[in-house]
Structure 1
Amino acid sequence: MMQKDGCGQAGWPSQPRDIDEFVSDMLRKGDELYRDLPWRNVDDPYAVLVSEIMLQQTQVSRVGRFWERFLSAFPTLDALAAAAVPDVLELWQGLGYNRRALALKRTADQCAAEGEGRLPETCEGLLALPGIGPATAAGVVAFAYQRPAVYLETNVRSVFLHELFPAEEAVSDKVLLPLVEAAAFHPVAAADPRRWYYGLLDYGAYLKATVPNPSRRSSGHTRQSAFEGSRRQKRAWITRRVLAAPEGVRRAVVLADLNKAELAAARPEVDAELFASIIADLLTEGFFREEAGLLIP
């Protein structure tokens, strides 16, 4: 049996479709729906990692210009490791979920210190890095190193739910993972992991645009909360405000400016307890530091 890089145990539980037929059909559909995206067919594992992290919870249409701009500024892991955190966060502004940028920076720091500026080549090695989960690790293995891996993300999940569980609700990833693995390590799919997963991603995107979103039938499906007025929105605003003051800015000034922005958006002022909680989180996560009463990027 093919070495699985620590990505799980293969198996194809009893299903209404034969695995050979399923793999053949999915490859055909994927070829028909192929999207030529800038981060595809790229051999550089770091460039692939950046794309995979940017694509988490972010629409494909928004990622392209950010990916190219980020790699232009930080073309290698060593370049990212040498960069200042505020510079990294500044280039991430507009993508949201800034924790991803910090985790990517910490990965670069760790690889520069321990891995000679190179990413590990196995799922296990990648999972040991900050902010890299099973799907991201599998994406790097499949797309950069072109080896089969168990890559279960939202579009892949949608395909398996649509094709194999068309009438079932609350299907768990525990049920899906053995199927995803068995298909990925099927000899035909495993011969070209990029083609296999690009096809599933593109078919999944097509399904979401043409039928009721199949991923809603996953037991783990949750609807994303609104951004405007949320804690996430306030975190992002505070981060931008501090980054805009390289010399540092006092908490009271940030809170006053935040409340002006909230009132301008017809929202209530932020109470002191919530503001302090957000600041504490951002300090702990390393978005900025506090010295002599100043928040400093």
Structure 2
Amino acid sequence: MSINFPVKLFQTKIFKWYRVHGRHELPWRKSHSPYRILVSEIMLQQTQVCRVIPKYKSFLKKFPTIKKLAEAPLLAVLKEWRGLGYNRRAVYLKRTAEIILREHKGIFPKEAETLLKFPGIGRYSAGAIRVFAWNEPDVLIETNIRRVYIHFFFRNHEKISDSKLKKVIERTTQRANPRIWYWALMDYGAAALKSVPNPNRKSRHYAKQKPFSGSRRQARSKVLGYMMKKEGGARLPLIKRILNSDRKLQKYSLQARSILEELGSEGFLVSRKGLWRVSEN
């Protein structure tokens, strides 16, 4: 595939902008610890940077090591996660810590194939851990990186697949220091391209996130939030009343049983003789 923008000029432009405007102060960029990078990457999934910064700091203060997180009660982890949303990420993070402690003697594996076996770790997250912890030149594609490459190399295209982007990223990645290169790309995509129409709309993978308010996600969050406060647990009729008490979520009271079972299957809750409570581990 031919590249219609000079590679050296592209790299120079991105790095020049980053030196002046980059987010050099982000706390996870001050560490090469794979554990800390794992925490930041899981938190940053579908969550704004400004919301992640304080939670990242407090989470690592509470759980400074893989061992501390793996051995912590699930309820403590969920309480620390409150405010970030998508609570299953907290469960995935804890389960990953447990696997690393149990199967890898607490040593964080470096191989992408191993990382991909951990819960909640996809191709991007595995690559990001390798890039930011060990400076490996893996191909990373996420929202801001996709925005940059479509803007520079696919401006007159539509329905662009990530497989096409991958070929260009492989040929243009700055291999001397991929860690800084990807930081620069992310920051350029997040800030420098704000004034142009979103290039990601040309991506085959573009999809608008559905509103949280009044959604099943909000109903799940409300149920889990209530259960985290209810030490003695709760039965189905009470959960139905909790959902009925919120005008936006009343329709989900009929789905209360399936919401409880869903939260149970994902490891959040356990049930004994009809009494639901937060899982202990």
Same fold? TM cut 0.5: yes
Q: Are the counterparts in 1 of residues 215 and 249 from structure 2 also a CA contact under 8 Å?
A: no
Alignment of 1:102-251 (within 5 A): 102-184=91-173, 189-251=174-236
| 1:16 equivalenced with 2:11 (yes/no) | no
- Residue 157 of structure 1: how far off its partner (Å): 0.5
Q: CA deviation at 1:153?
A: 0.7
Taking structure 2 as the reference length, what is the TM-score of the superposition? 0.94
Query: What amino acid is the match of 1:278?
Result: I
Letter in 2 for 1:236: S
Q: What TM-score results when the alignment is normalised by the length of structure 1? A: 0.89
Deviates further, 147-156 or 267-276: 267-276
Partner of 1:34: 22
What's the counterpart of residue 278 of structure 1?
259
CA distance in 1, matches of 2:153, 2:113: 29
Q: Secondary structure at the match of 1:176?
A: helix
Report the Cα offset of residue 292 of structure 1.
2.5
| Structure 1 residues 206-257: Cα deviation after superposition (integer angstroms, max 9, x where no partner) | 1452222211211110000010000000010001011111221112112212
Measured against aligned partners, the alpha-carbon deviations of 1:152-191 in whole angstroms (never above 9, x if no partner) come to 111011000111111222111111112122222xxxx111
Report what 1:93 is aligned to. 82
Which AA in structure 2 matches 1:275? A
Deviates more, 1:241-250 or 1:47-56: 241-250
3-state secondary structure, aligned to 1:144: helix
Query: Please, which runs of 5 or more residues in structure 2 have no aligned partner?
Result: none
Q: Identity of paired residues, percent? A: 40
Residue pair 2:148, 2:188 contacting (<8 A) in 1 also: yes
Instruction: Give the match's secondary structure for 1:290.
Output: strand
1:85–1:102 contact (8 Å) kept in structure 2:
yes
Q: Contact between 1:160 and 1:176, CA under 8 Å: does it hold in 2?
A: yes
In structure 2, what is the Cα distance between the partners aligned to 1:207 and 1:241?
A: 41
The 8 Å contact of residues 35 and 108 in structure 2, kept in 1 or not, is answered as yes
Q: In 1, Cα distance between the equivalents of 2:227 and 2:251?
A: 17
| 1:233 alignment partner AA | Q
CA 1:268/1:146 → structure 2, altered by over 3 Å: closer, same or farther? closer
Task: Give CA-to-partner distance per residue, 1:238-282, whole Å, 9 cap, x none.
Answer: 01011111221112112212211x13xxx3623554222211111
Higher relative contact order (CA 8 A, sep 6+): 1
Tell me which amino acid in the other structure corresponds to 2:67. D
Instruction: Indicate if the aligned counterparts of 2:3 and 2:168 stay in contact, CA closer than 8 A.
Output: no
Q: Residue 148 of structure 1 contacts residue 190 of structure 1 at CA under 8 Å; is this kept in 2?
A: yes
Query: Does the CA-based 8 Å contact 1:111-1:117 persist in structure 2?
Result: yes
Paired amino acid for 1:38 = P
| One-letter identity of the residue aligned with 1:16 | N
Count how many residue pairs are aligned between Structure 1 and Structure 2: 277
